[in-house]
Structure 1
Amino acid sequence: MATLSPYKLRIEGMDCAACALKIESAMQRLPGVSDVNVNYMAGTLALRFDQDRTPARTIEDKVKALGYTPIGTMAVEVRVPQRREHQPWWRENKGRLVLGTGGLLLLAFVFARLIPDWERWFYSGAALVSVVPFARRAVSGILSGSPFSIETLMTIAALGALAIGEPEEAAVVIFLFAVGELLETVAAGRARAGIEALIDLVPRTARRLRGAPSEIEEVRVDDLSIGDVVVVRPGDRIPSDGKVAVGSSEVNEAPVTGESMPVLKEVGSAVYAGSVNANGELHVEITRVASDNTIARIIHLVEEAQESKAPMARMIDRFSRWYTPAAMVVAVLVILIPPLVLGGDWMTWIYRGLATLLIACPCALVISTPAAIASGLAAGARHGLLIKGGAALETLGKVQTVAFDKTGTLTRGHPRVTNVMPVVGDESSVLARAAAVERGTSHPLGFAIVEAAKERELTLPVTFGGSIAVPGKAVTARLKDGFVSVGSPRHAAAMTSIESGLDDKIAALETEGKTVVVLLSGKTVEGLIALRDEPRLDAAEGVKRLIDQGIKTVILTGDNGRAANAIAALLGLDARAELLPEAKLAEIGRLRSTGPVAMVGDGINDAPALATASVGIAMGGGTDVALETADAALLHERVTGVADLIALSRTTLRNIWQNIAIALGLKSIFLITTLVGATTLWMAILADTGATVLVTANALRLLNHRSSE
């Protein structure tokens, strides 16, 4: 079996879904070519091919024959985002075509005024010359498996107009069609700008350290390697993903994650390419090269998402394959039936049949869904809402239940001190003595106690020797006044008697889902410290917004019922706790029986549940798992992002239906006016062009969609 080589080509002039379908059909007919994938939003063609059966040159020639311009092959294995080279519209092929057809039309008009007897011949010549590029593309499309292309309809209509003695209208139709194609190019460029804006977030150069701290060289970001250390001054953008090696500063991550507030970064903190350093110089050790940093991965995933079609887009594609030939049949019937059956004038009804052909052009209908989907995906990416495909974007708007994992999703993922109850001394002394015992510990509870003492800027007592930990019981250390331990209430009860009032306080705290530890000095209870994995700051708002949208919310967790119920009560949703992985999957299956379900998790231990749900949403600020596991990812790690995703999906679905209504509504109106003789050929093509422009402009409104901050 021959080895198939991957091949990727960037194409200019491919600006709508109909263009992509035409190229896809042509490629599929070439011998030895498979896995054809055309992305009109990115302007790329990707495939695998047998170079012995179909050389790369043949592929490029076929693209040219269809009327598009190959502008360079792309390395398949490299994912460094590249901005397209933009030229003024009059230098691009479609711009030159507008100028050419417009110039010929103007010349015909001038000469017709100078020599009126030759008017018909001047307009006929202009039309015949102008139609040649479109006729060549129509023939190439027919030979490549796309017989019912827009070029075919337009060429037939233009030549038909010439045949019945309407050369002026033929020339105007061709010119207006060229203008419509140019407008599609401009609109597609605006949609692409939504993604290319992400490319501009990453600086082109970086200041890399060489040996001594004072030696700095300016290098291209593409030349940075893992382990390099770069200097990021206040106001500079971070050139690639890394971790802070020296310094501390607030960093604005809004361009990457959508997080509106600057985030403090200290030694060891992770930073992302494209985020902006605010106020202090940082030395950043590079952990990802340019082709694999957060921005590059986001752009790559959004482009992949644009390649995958939503169910509604596939339905429109299937409909359009039948719609165009059916419209041609209708046009033929319009021409034949009135003269043959009703005795109508042949020239009148041929003219109306040609107008029907132009009205039947499917561009506006075909572009209605993919334009909206592409704009919705781009809008989400710009606000830290990464959606991996049109199918996921469409499904989100139909979700009836959102199931949350608890730890790390609705909560911060690590415990925090919530209560300090002194029995001896005050809160500060109890917390300081407990932190002294726990100093150096790796246990999450001990770490939280030490962090709480740091936040209060407490001075910790001196310990003599190291701490001794007995797993599940206590940590003990020697302070100046003797041995002190921090342990579980059960351990404390075994060591000394605990007053009933204190027992009641412990029980009350545990009922709230908190873990209680007892500070014990010898046999004296000095105080209680309660800890809990607290909800994220926006968790309550995020859940409320979902409920306001009419969506049922529930916690599915393997944690104990007491902790799950306490968090659920705080946030106002149901909880199903102590679920083993199999039970969690079964619960999602049960929920799916009543409608689409979204599962929100941290993207690591929730992977099976994310995959089983109708749509999986991962919480994670640019992590591999968040970007690769689920159908969507919340890069800013805000619970409100779930409601933002659903709102964006619903807005996109409304936009799609608006586009379909515009496309079919205008065609219906002009079909009626054509049949009664009120529509000219140039009005018919203007109606189609206008519908395409309106649909595209409506889809581009999604780029201005705003998520909650």
Structure 2
Amino acid sequence: MTMNAIQSRYRVDGMDCASCASKIDTAVRRVPGVSDVSVSVTAGTMTVHHDATIDLAAMARKVTGLGYPVSPLGQNDPSPPARAACCGPDHDHHGHGHGDHEGHDHAKPAVADTIGLHGHDHGPTDGSWWKSRKGKLTIACGAALLAAYGIGHLVPSIASVLFIAAMLVGLIPIARRAIMAAMAGTPFSIEMLMTIAAVGAVFINAGEEAAAVVFLFLVGELLEGVAAGKARASIQALTALVPKTALLEENGQTREVAADSLSIGDIILVRTGDRIPADGTIVSGEGAIDESPVTGESTPVNKGVDATVFAGTINTVSVLRIRVTAAAADNTIARVVKLVEEAQESKAPTERFIDRFSRYYTPGVVVVAALVAIVPPLLLGGIWSEWIYKGLAILLIGCPCALVISTPAAIAASLSSGARRGLLLKGGAVLENIGRVTAVALDKTGTLTVGKPNVTDIIAFDRSERDVLVYAAALETGSSHPLATAILAKAAEKKLAVPPATDARALGGKGVTATVNGAETFLGSPKSADERVPLSGEQMARITALNDDGKTVSVLLIGGVLAGAIAMRDEPRADALAGLKALTDAGIRTVMLTGDNTRTATAIGKQLGIEVRAELMPQDKQRIVGELKAEGLVVAKVGDGINDAPALAAADVGIAMGGGTDVALETADAAVLHGRVADVAAMIDLSKRTMANIRQNITIALGLKAVFLVTTIIGVTGLWPAILADTGATVLVTINALRLLRPVATS
């Protein structure tokens, strides 16, 4: 691809499997001026890199002629229009495409609108199946076949002509696409195999079977489309979570606005029972948030002021005022959709192998069918019509649909299922690779821990615990320091009245002092406090014990008397212990990599039961990941900050935590959107289940073909079972893949 290549993105309707993408890829690469092309079946998109000499209209007509209507995706067209029933191959739906060619990579269609359905009619199957072009063609072919049977029974002399006519009703559209595909460089398409088999059957006086086979072919394709439609419905449900409108609060007044018009910093009102229209933080109000539509958690989560809420979740108890923290294009759901779409552009190694295999497989089937039809009559004295019939049946058995869809169907379903649970994987290769992980290295702060300190202990020496917290909160009022924030949050949690502080002064590196309730008050480090009022041996022992637990201790003096102390620590996430146990139970080694001091890291590591490597610089984390890989381990690195980026890139799989920086999310191969450690284990389990599903699909596809190949050669089965073997296998493979969409319990 040249440096000055222009990039154009198109929405492509009707793609159903890898063979469809291959036909489009082959045709577009032959267009003068094209340097590279990428076709995504599941996303329903095509990205073309070309120079200024290309005739985009001619290219679009070529793709449309194959039976795949295309339309350009402009930079300001993030959500393509819904499929219209009229958009068939005969309609010039491509547009001329001479507009915005650069920057199209930023304009991605909504996943709900672009998950391709499997069906070689290449028309839409949205809505009722009988209203689609595919459904109408199938009904027309079936009606013609019934008419041929009925009239042929009454007038036997014209029965053969009637069956040929019924066959042509369904075969003509199929043959037209076969010819277009051959002209575009794909002679061995499924449509071509079907056309040869049907026409050949007519020549050996099997017109009745030919008509039935064409009808069964269309029925099978229709069933595949309906089955695959469940995957589309799953993603559509995800994109439909965010409400279209929001209640915007301005100047004390509330008005309804479009949700996608909200800006960062806007204050919105969310009533009881309403879905939250944007990511944000709660400004006022408290209540239970039902996050099950986004996270899969069955129990509502209690949230109050300053808590983070996600777009698409449900406010169940009381009215909330929320400050918007992300624009519509960047909210939780939008990020899920974007990453799923990007993931669908990336093929897994297994999928790439199946693609390569199918390129040789289909011509091989044609050669085998020809040998079966010709060799026995020519060399062994067989009956020509009998062996030609068997050869035609083998052509139908060899249709590659079930094989080529076996992998992408499972991967698309798995990516969709993961996305609904906040498990985002950037492509099939990542999905396949993560199941082989044998070691997981995790950052501490923000990954294994909450990422901010919390008050863990309040020690009363001369005053009550309540007084210690009240006076400390008075000193810290107005400060944004993390430790101050922790103290103020604890006071707010206990609903304590905090008195005002006067003459407040910060003592650099030592603490803070002010007058509270008429008394000079100091809060600072134990060393600084000891300089003012000597601490007893017992008091120092208690503080040392807290320090050994990885806690930071601030000592409070009131009126020159040692009043008490407050201990704080960045505590482990609620699910960290269970999440790490799930990993170790799966035989995966876990290790904490942190830049924090050894004492604090060891205390957290002991609490969680994880191997600890502390006081590390970013390059140290990267080096340790390399050492683990050198031991023969397949390493996943989990982190959320800029200092994790080198290690994320060095690992076999980099996983960013949901609250992480943009750098971490960009560097990582996957993301745990909701920041749960247990989701790392869930992601690995999803990968293993997906690979097992793919193996099952390949076994179904090739196994059925092998059985029917043998039974056809020995004369047990014929054309009807042959086409049922192909379409039936495809339906079975698709339904099996869709099992991955079923919800899985999360811890």
Kept in 1: contact 2:283–2:305 (CA 8 A):
yes
Q: Distance in 1 between matches of 2:593 and 2:357?
A: 41
Paired with 1:268 and 1:578, the residues of 2 have a C-alpha distance of 31
Q: CA deviation at 1:262?
A: 4.1
Residues 137 and 151 in structure 1, CA contact (< 8 A), matched pair in contact too: yes
Say which of 374, 377, 397 aligns to 1:336: 374
Cα shift at 1:109: 1.2
Q: CA deviation at 1:120?
A: 2.4
CA distance, structure 2, for counterparts of residue 284 and residue 516 of structure 1: 34
Amino acid across the alignment from 2:343 = A
Alignment of 1:612-691 (within 5 A): 612-621=650-659, 624=662, 627-691=665-729
In structure 2, the CA distance between the partners of 1:407 and 1:229, relative to structure 1 (3 Å rule), is closer
Deviations 1:146-183 (A, max 9, x none): 12111111111111211222111111111111112222
Please list the CA deviations of residues 111-146 of structure 1 after superposition, one character each: whole Å capped at 9, or x if unmatched: 211111232232233334532221111111111121
What is residue 62 of structure 2 aligned with on the other side? Answer: 62
Pairing 1:499–2:536 present: yes
Please show how residues 298-447 of structure 1 align to structure 2 within 5 Å: 298-447=336-485
Q: Which amino acid aligns with 2:380?
A: L
Say if 2:640 and 2:661, in contact at 8 Å, map to a contact too: no
In the aligned structure 2, how far is the partner of 1:363 from the partner of 1:267?
Answer: 54
Q: Matches of 1:231 and 1:522 in 2, distance apart?
A: 46
Q: Which residue of 1 aligns with 2:172?
A: 132
Inter-CA distance 113–611: structure 2 relative to 1 (3 Å threshold) = same
2:203 is aligned with 1:166 = no
CA contact (8 A) 1:644 1:707 kept: no
Amino acid at match of 1:185: G
Q: Structure 2: how far apart are the matches of 1:458 and 1:205?
A: 38
Is the CA contact (8 Å cut-off) linking 1:257 and 1:621 kept in structure 2? no
For 1:192, the equivalent position in structure 2 comes to 232
Is the alpha carbon distance of 1:436 and 1:258 closer, same or farther for their aligned partners in structure 2, counting shifts above 3 Å? same
Q: Does 1:156 find its partner at 2:196?
A: yes
- Counterpart CA distance in 1 for 2:496 and 2:253 is 38
Stretches of structure 2 that go unaligned for 5 or more consecutive residues are 80-108, 114-123
Mapped to 2, the partners of 1:664 and 1:215 lie a distance apart of: 62
Q: Quote how far apart the aligned CAs of 1:354 are.
A: 1.3
Please list the CA deviations of residues 19-54 of structure 1 after superposition, one character each: whole Å capped at 9, or x if unmatched.
122222212221223442322223333324457532
Q: 8 Å contact 1:252–1:276 — kept in the other structure?
A: yes
| Distance in 2, Cα, partners of 1:263 & 1:417 | 21
Structure 1 window deviating more from structure 2 (339-348 vs 533-542): it is 339-348
Between 257-266 and 509-518, the greater mean CA deviation after superposition: 257-266
Contact 1:2 1:50 in 2 (8 A): no
Report the more deviating stretch, 647-656 or 523-532. 523-532
- Report 1:235-254 matches (<5 A): 235-242=273-280, 250-254=288-292
Question: Once the two structures are superposed, what CA deviation does each residue of 1:319-343 show, in whole Å capped at 9, x if it has no partner?
Answer: 1111111122222222233334433
Q: 1:51 to 1:229 in 2, by over 3 A?
A: farther
Structure 1 CA distance for aligned equivalents of residues 579 and 186 of structure 2 = 48
User: Pairwise mapping of residues 100-111 of structure 1 onto structure 2 (< 5 A)?
Assistant: 100-111=140-151
**Quick one: which amino acid aligns to residue 66 of structure 2?**
L
CA drift of 1:421 comes to 2.4
Give the 5 Å matches for 1:254-293.
254-263=292-301, 270-284=308-322, 286=324, 288-293=326-331
Following superposition, the deviation at residue 523 of structure 1 comes to 5.4
Amino acid at match of 1:59: M
Where in structure 2 are the equivalents of 1:85-96 lying within 5 Å?
Answer: 86-96=126-136
Cα distance in 1 for partners of 2:413, 2:353 equals 19
Distance 1:518 1:206 in 2: 47
2:346–2:429 CA contact under 8 A, matched in 1: yes
In 1, Cα distance between the equivalents of 2:697 and 2:55? 39
2:78 corresponds in structure 1 to 79
Counterpart residue type for residue 79 of structure 1? P
SS of equivalent to 1:465 = strand
Alignment equivalent of 1:181, drawn from 221, 227, 236 = 221
* Superposed displacement of residue 74, structure 1: 3.1
1:151 is paired with a residue of what secondary structure?
A: helix
Q: Does structure 1 conserve the Cα–Cα contact (< 8 Å) formed by 2:648 and 2:664?
A: no
Contact residue 224 and residue 289 of structure 1 kept, 8 A? yes
Query: For 1:632 and 1:510, how far apart are their aligned partners in 2?
Result: 36
The code of the aligned residue for 1:26 comes to: A
Tell me the distance in 1 between the aligned counterparts of 2:687 and 2:558: 58
CA distance in 2, matches of 1:11, 1:73: 9
1:573 aligned to 2:610? yes
State how far apart, in whole Å, the 1-side matches of 2:389 and 2:555 are.
93
CA, structure 1 residues 267+223, in 2 after alignment: closer, same or farther (shift >3 Å)?
Answer: same
8 Å contact from structure 1 (residues 258, 636) kept in 2: no
**Deviation at residue 59 of structure 1 after TM alignment:** 3.2
> Could you say which residue in structure 1 is the equivalent of 2:488?
450
* Cross-structure match for 1:551: 588
Cα offset, 1:440, TM superposition: 2.8
Q: Is the 8 A contact 1:596 1:614 kept in 2?
A: yes
Specify the alignment match of 1:113 in structure 2: 153
- Going from structure 1 to structure 2, the CA distance change for 1:200 and 1:146 (only over 3 Å counts) comes to same
Q: Is the 8 A contact 1:79 1:291 kept in 2?
A: no
Bigger RCO of structures 1 and 2 (CA < 8 A, at least 6 apart): 1
How far the C-alpha of 1:88 sits from its partner, in A, is: 2.4
Amino acid at match of 2:65: A
Within 2, Cα distance between the matches of 1:247 and 1:480? 31
1:204 paired to 2:205:
no
Judge conservation of contact 1:259–1:636 (CA < 8 Å) in 2: no
TM-score (norm 2): 0.88
Q: Percent identity, aligned pairs only? A: 54
Give the structure-1-normalised TM-score. Answer: 0.93
CA 221–623 in structure 1, closer or farther in 2 if over 3 Å, else same: farther
Question: 1:597: which partner in 2?
Answer: 635
Question: For the residues of structure 2 that align with 1:619 and 1:55, how far apart are their CA atoms?
Answer: 42
What pairs with 1:1-12 in structure 2 (closer than 5 Å)? 6-12=7-13
Alignment partners' CA distance in 2, 1:424 and 1:632? 52
Q: 1:490 aligns with which of 494, 508, 527?
A: 527
The verdict on how the C-alpha distance between 1:381 and 1:340 changes in structure 2, with shifts beyond 3 A counting, is same
Residues 470 and 496 in structure 2, CA contact (< 8 A), matched pair in contact too: yes
**Number of aligned residue pairs:** 704
CA contact (8 A) 1:557 1:578 kept: yes
Return 294-303 or 172-181, whichever deviates more. Answer: 294-303
Instruction: Identify the residue that residue 539 of structure 1 maps to in structure 2.
Output: 576
Residue-by-residue CA offset, 1:433-474 (whole Å, 9 max, x unaligned): 3333333333222322232233233344553321x2223322
CA distance in 2, matches of 1:36, 1:360: 28
Letter of the 1:513 counterpart: G
CA contact (8 A) 2:637 2:647 kept: yes
| Structure-1 residue corresponding to 2:17 | 16
Residue number in structure 1 paired with 2:118: none
| Residue 706 (str. 1) matches residue 744 (str. 2) | yes
- Preserved CA contact (<8 Å) 1:232 1:284: yes
Residue 609 of structure 1 is matched in structure 2 by: 647
Letter matched to residue 483 of structure 1: E
| SS across alignment from 1:605 | helix
Aligned residue for 2:335?
Answer: 297
1:355 is paired with a residue whose SS is helix
Structure 2: distance between partners of 1:245 and 1:539: 28
